[in-house]
Amino acid sequence: MPISITAVIVTLNEESNIGRCLDSLSGVVDEVIVLDSFSSDTTAVICQAKGVKFFQKQWEGYSASKNNANNLATMDYILSIDADEALSDELKHSIIEQKKNPLFQAYSFNRLTNYCGQWIHYCGWYPDKKVRLFKKGDAAWVGEIHEELVFKATTYVKNLKGDLLHYSFPTIASHIQTLNSFSEIAAKSDFSRKKCPNFLVHILLNPPFTFLKKYILQKGFLDGYYGFIICTISGFANFIKYSKLNELWKKQELK
């Protein structure tokens, strides 16, 4: 039996991305829900011009906001997609074929990331398999950052052909800015769970190990200049996260 799909997107100041994302959904989904966190740019104008169902609610974190948006969906299945993502032509075809006679309750896609204008095929970034199409009511998002979809019961997932195109960081500066924000959240999360960093293991050895793993073992060198940049920043990200975590513990000791 054919199914219907609601595409669900959460947004905050995504005027540079949302139009491309919405255009890629045309002819594939039956409904588009955008839950916006009161963007100050033209995100709302773009969405309304493209005829989506547009709602606004204060930001409550990645998982909570996505779950709130999922609750607004009215179709059989939910396609969860970020504003900086888009469906490739091959993935569009795969989804349309599954709509005719779905045999699974959930589907995953390989995500291909564009970094500073270059598609990244190594560095541990591809294939970045994501479960994004699932039966409404079967799952919920959990986690503060790098949120994960958790199903209520054992679910078999089929991986569809085609890529979910991810337009991540247009500049190195934007990557560093996100690193700073995410490392802050991660450090506070680890601190709340009483995780204490070891200077030798986490701060001294982990960053270079992360770089070597991504650059050598995961063949980041094949992505050229930007592969080197990505692997370097990945190691630096761990250094910053554990340094911030260590700082939180030192402040605790002074109280």
Q: pLDDT digits over 197-216, tens only?
A: 999 999 999 999 999 999 99
CA 135 to CA 144: how far, in whole Å? Answer: 23
> Residue 91 has what pLDDT?
98
* Residue 145 contacts residue 119 (beta carbons within 8 Å): no
CA 15 to CA 17: how far, in whole Å? Answer: 6
Q: pLDDT digits over 121-172, tens only?
A: 999 999 999 999 999 999 999 987 788 999 999 999 999 999 999 999 999 9
> Residue 17 has what pLDDT?
98
Q: Is there a cis peptide before residue 197, judged by omega within 30 degrees of 0?
A: no
Q: Which pTM value belongs to this model? A: 0.93
Q: Is the model's pLDDT at 252 over the cut of 90?
A: no
Go through the chain and tell me how many residues it has: 255
CA 120 to CA 112: how far, in whole Å? Answer: 7
Domain extents in the chain: 5-167, 172-254
Q: Which CATH number fits domain 5-167: 3.40.640.10, 3.90.550.10, 2.30.30.100, 3.30.70.120?
A: 3.90.550.10
Triad 74, 76, 78: Cα angle to 5° = 80
Q: pLDDT digits over 57-75, tens only?
A: 999 989 999 999 999 999 9
> Residue 83 has what pLDDT?
98
